[in-house]
Structure 1
Amino acid sequence: MAKEKEFEEELRRGLKERHIQLIALGGAIGVGLFLGSATAIKTAGPGLIFSYIIAGIFILFMMRSLGELAVSYPVSGSFSAYANKFLGPLAGYITGWTYWFMWIVTCMAEITAVGVYIHFWLPDLPQWIPALLALVAMTVVNIVAVSAFGEFEFWFALIKVVTIVVMIVLGGLMICFGLGNGGVPIGITNLYSHGGLFPLGLKGIILSLVMVMFAYVGIELIGVTAGEAENPEKTIPAAINKVLWRILIFYVGALGVIMSIYPWNQLGTIGSPFVLTFNKLGITAAAGIINFVVLTAALSSCNSGIFSTGRMLYNLSLQNKAPKIFGKLSKRHIPFNGILVSFCFLFIGVVLNYLVPAQVFIYVTSVATTGAIWTWGIIVLAQLKFRASLTADEVTQLKYPAPFYPVSNWATLIFLVFVLIIMAFDADTRVALYVSPIWFGFLLVCYYAFGLHKSSDSSVSKDVS
């Protein structure tokens, strides 16, 4: 296939298969599962399990679309580069900068959270100190080598995975054999004894979809890693193929165990479901264990954010949609300038978070939620256009074709629009629908004011040999 400028990256392929596998796995497991699941359970009860399955199906369709593109064009610019080629320069520009901003805002919150989690053990330590140390440490990891990033993500993800697996296994023993309950099996009656499987009806399932979708933010990171994967044709499909099973095991399995052990209508008022479950098993250090896990989850998010923002600025520069300085690589083939700029924005964000009212910070963070939905939609649309551009013979030569094309594409797009509509019915999420147009409007003004629409010259829009 012909290559364009934004696909001619010079990054070093230092991510091994085990790195890609755990990055894909860790991207789908965030702090929301450990701390935020109680709120989601209050919204839908046991029906939340079905919400995760429903949303998981469309996330899988989106990931398969991403997989088809990533194997055909394994670049770190990923969805921004694909949007630029198949949907036009403006789409690539908006997608790249929106994804960059999404991670900057997310990392601001995560770095600040590190200070809160450390406060659990060191209550007298000012929160800004661990927040700053975390930012500096994760930045150093990213500028050393891509393999260092991969190694840290591997272990961060492994901690989360082991915690959930242990909870599911021990919880299962409690349900089936009465472990930690005096030898009396708890059973699964709590799943349907408090108003049935759908105690809050269809409305509960629908409203919980917003929180469920937000829990999946970061799963698309595997597309950004494709540009530095040692063998993308093998590692990307292997990681994506396991997405559905991960969703079923880690989300559905964990929540099923939790709501079997505790009545769902008690969970929203008595703390983290994971802490409660470990406590019931007689693990007295449960709160400390979960605090350590969410600390590593926050560090993982920060690590991933610095990685992806640096790569996105690098590829935007190749598209002529960001300053040329971001297109330069260090001797280790790392987009150092992009990482450094992201570090500066994150540093400002940590300071601002202590100076401005919390409500203002929530408004800015809301853009990240719609930014994720925008990115997922662009991935599906880009793959739709990519497949339509191929001849019948070229389709048969695809190494990792997305299934059910084009039905899965349109079904996923309709579902994403449906989630946006649901956001309008909740005061906490409705603000995102107000703030996001301001962000997109700002990008459009910059696009034309700085003449970026004129920079889409033949070096980008035309094939090169």
Structure 2
Amino acid sequence: IKNLWEHGGLFPNGITGFLLSFQMVVFAFVGVELVGVSAAETANPEKNIPSAINKIPLRILFFYVGALIVLLCINPWTELNAAESPFVKTFSLVGIPIAAGIINFVVLTSAASACNSGMFSTSRILYNLSNNSQGPTNFARLNKNHVPSNALLISTLVLTGGALLSKLIPEQAFGIVTTISAICFIWVWGVILICHVRYKKTRPDLQAKSKFKAPFTPFVNYAVLTLFAAILIIMLFADATRPALLLTPLWFILLFALYSYRRKNEKKLKLSA
């Protein structure tokens, strides 16, 4: 257990290394918002959604924090490197020769699960945007199984593009994907936090009827928004994250331009009708 504070202590690379790690922390939490997205298709949301949300911190402590503590107790951080899985190395040390196969199976299963969750959430969001006249009408089309097939298809194509990136630029792909993903989801979570604050102010009647209220609102919302802003500023000081951070706003500008163009055309059609 002494490995946790030896070999340079808890911050061997100083406070700078600790702060720069927040980008990967954000990336690791990508997908946590799916609990809310899946609420509409949950059989008993009043029971299942609170249960799922309350279990998230426990699962993080066990599967993430607990796993890291065990790994660092067995292997000093100085003996770990990006070229080798720390789990494979740990299993090898405790005498499990098929560790590589086990880890590969777990990684592939986790990746498949993440892809499935991503396609589910993205297709549903595109479907809802289309139904609200905020996206192409084709995304609202359902197949015979009541699945938004067109929205699912475009989600799959975009996901495939990310996989091709690892073939075209394998050395830079991981850094680019993690940085862009972190930035985009900071934006997504930020919008959710702001909408939650607005919801409490504009619909107090619905808020009063809610059976599962977020505690300490809106103070927690503002605190998290401040943290997100600080993380974005920190990412400006890292060579690996700065290019993607500076280029990502172009994507939001493009989306805003397309949305504005669509709304303008809709107004013209209504006036002409």
Q: Alignment partner for residue 403 of structure 1, among 190, 195, 215? A: 215
Instruction: Tell me, yes or no, if the aligned pair for 1:206 and 1:422 is still in contact at 8 Å.
Output: yes
The count of aligned residue pairs is 268
Question: Which residues of 2 match residues 58-69 of structure 1 at below 5 A?
Answer: none
1:439 aligned residue: 251
Q: Separation in 2 of the partners of 1:388 and 1:247?
A: 32
Q: Alignment partner for residue 243 of structure 1, among 53, 56, 62? A: 56
Question: In structure 2, the residue corresponding to 1:289 is in which secondary structure?
Answer: helix
2:181 aligned residue: 368
1:448 aligned residue: 260
1:268 aligns with 2:78: no
Question: In structure 2, the residue corresponding to 1:195 is in which secondary structure?
Answer: coil
Query: Structure 1 residue 357: deviation in Å?
Result: 4.3
Q: Return the letter of the residue paired with 2:261.
A: A
Question: In structure 2, the residue corresponding to 1:450 is in which secondary structure?
Answer: helix
C-alpha distance after superposition, 1:296-343 (max 9, x if no partner): 111112211221221111001012111222112222221112112323
Q: Separation in 1 of the partners of 2:170 and 2:142?
A: 37
1:335 aligns with 2:172: no
Question: Which residues of 2 match residues 197-346 of structure 1 at below 5 A?
Answer: 197-268=10-81, 271-346=84-159
Instruction: Tell me, yes or no, if the aligned pair for 1:364 and 1:435 is still in contact at 8 Å.
Output: no
Question: In structure 1, the residue corresponding to 2:21 is in which secondary structure?
Answer: helix
Instruction: Tell me, yes or no, if the aligned pair for 2:175 and 2:241 is still in contact at 8 Å.
Output: no
Q: Return the letter of the residue paired with 1:416.
A: F
Q: Separation in 2 of the partners of 1:339 and 1:190?
A: 47
Query: Structure 1 residue 253: deviation in Å?
Result: 0.7
Question: In structure 2, the residue corresponding to 1:425 is in which secondary structure?
Answer: coil
Q: Return the letter of the residue paired with 2:128.
A: N
C-alpha root-mean-square deviation of aligned residues, in Å? 2.5
Query: Structure 1 residue 199: deviation in Å?
Result: 2.8
1:380 aligned residue: 193
Question: Which residues of 2 match residues 11-50 of structure 1 at below 5 A?
Answer: none
Q: Separation in 2 of the partners of 1:298 and 1:452?
A: 40
1:415 aligned residue: 227
Query: Structure 1 residue 411: deviation in Å?
Result: 0.4
Segments of structure 2 that go 5 or more residues without pairing to the other structure are: 268-273
Q: Separation in 2 of the partners of 1:277 and 1:300?
A: 24
Q: Separation in 2 of the partners of 1:326 and 1:294?
A: 32
Percentage of pairs with the same residue: 46
Question: Which residues of 2 match residues 87-126 of structure 1 at below 5 A?
Answer: none
Query: Structure 1 residue 192: deviation in Å?
Result: 1.5
| Distance of aligned partners of 1:229 and 1:364 in 2 relative to their CA distance in 1, 3 Å threshold | same
1:429 aligned residue: 241
Segments of structure 1 that go 5 or more residues without pairing to the other structure are: 1-187, 456-465
Q: Return the letter of the residue paired with 2:133.
A: N
Question: In structure 2, the residue corresponding to 1:427 is in which secondary structure?
Answer: coil
Q: Separation in 2 of the partners of 1:295 and 1:307?
A: 18
- The TM-score with structure 2 as length reference comes to 0.88
Q: Separation in 2 of the partners of 1:302 and 1:397?
A: 35
Task: Give the structure, 1 or 2, with the largest relative contact order (CA under 8 Å, sep 6 or more).
Answer: 1
Q: Separation in 2 of the partners of 1:208 and 1:384?
A: 29
Q: Separation in 2 of the partners of 1:198 and 1:347?
A: 38
| Distance of aligned partners of 1:363 and 1:260 in 2 relative to their CA distance in 1, 3 Å threshold | closer
Q: Separation in 1 of the partners of 2:185 and 2:105?
A: 27
Query: Structure 1 residue 353: deviation in Å?
Result: 5.6
Q: Separation in 2 of the partners of 1:316 and 1:238?
A: 28
| Distance of aligned partners of 1:269 and 1:238 in 2 relative to their CA distance in 1, 3 Å threshold | closer
Instruction: Tell me, yes or no, if the aligned pair for 1:226 and 1:236 is still in contact at 8 Å.
Output: yes
Q: Return the letter of the residue paired with 1:421.
A: I
After the TM superposition, which of the residue ranges 363-372 and 229-238 deviates more from structure 2? 363-372
- The TM-score with structure 1 as length reference comes to 0.54
| Distance of aligned partners of 1:192 and 1:412 in 2 relative to their CA distance in 1, 3 Å threshold | same
Instruction: Tell me, yes or no, if the aligned pair for 1:447 and 1:453 is still in contact at 8 Å.
Output: no
Q: Separation in 2 of the partners of 1:325 and 1:202?
A: 49
| Distance of aligned partners of 1:191 and 1:351 in 2 relative to their CA distance in 1, 3 Å threshold | closer
Q: Return the letter of the residue paired with 2:233.
A: I
